[in-house]
Amino acid sequence: MASLATHSAMHGEHKQWKSDNDMWRCDINSWQDEFRQAISDLTTVESGLKEHEKALQVHAAAIRLREQDMVAHEHVLAKYEQGAGNGKLRSLAEAHKMEAVKHQQQRDAHERIKQHHHAILAHVHSLLATVGKPL
């Protein structure tokens, strides 16, 4: 009788093992499909990274232009203070107000770009750390 219970238990285990294998094959098929899609998506990721690089270059150029505008504005103000400028204080104040608005816009843009940049790099570093680990 003991051998029948053991035989029956072994048969039950074999059924469970087959069920596990079937489930694992199904998992692997799904994972392979997902992986193929991920490999395909890498082209989109690469394109997005290149666009981000371009955006950083445009932002750097905008900062340089703002610096030039700021120096020019400061120069006009210094000339006015020396009595050599031909502008009126009211027009200088209006120009200064415009410079302040442009500066705030640049600050806001910089903050948006910084947050986006940090998010991108966090995901890239996380992905690199994950794929670099052995299975």
pLDDT (tens digit per residue) in 66-75: 999 999 999 9
Q: What is the pTM of this model?
A: 0.77
Q: Which of 12-16, 87-91, 117-121 has the lowest mean pLDDT?
A: 87-91
Band (pLDDT 50/70/90 cuts) for residue 7 is: confident
Whole-number pLDDT of residue 53: 97
Percent of all residues in the chain with a pLDDT value above 70, rounded to a whole number: 94
Predicted confidence at residue 82, as pLDDT, reads 85
Give the mean model confidence (pLDDT) for residues 29-58.
96
Secondary structure (H, E, C), the chain: CHHHHHHHHHHHHHHHHHHHHHHHHHHHHHHHHHHHHHHHHHHHHHHHHHHHHHHHHHHHHHHHHHHHHHHHHHHHHHHHHCCCCCCCHHHHHHHHHHHHHHHHHHHHHHHHHHHHHHHHHHHHHHHHHHHCCCC
Position with higher pLDDT, 82 vs 122: 122
Answer whether residue 1 shows pLDDT above 80. Answer: no
Tens-place pLDDT, residues 84-116? 766 688 888 999 999 999 999 999 999 999 999
Residue ranges per domain, the chain? Answer: 2-131
Residue 90: per-residue pLDDT:
85
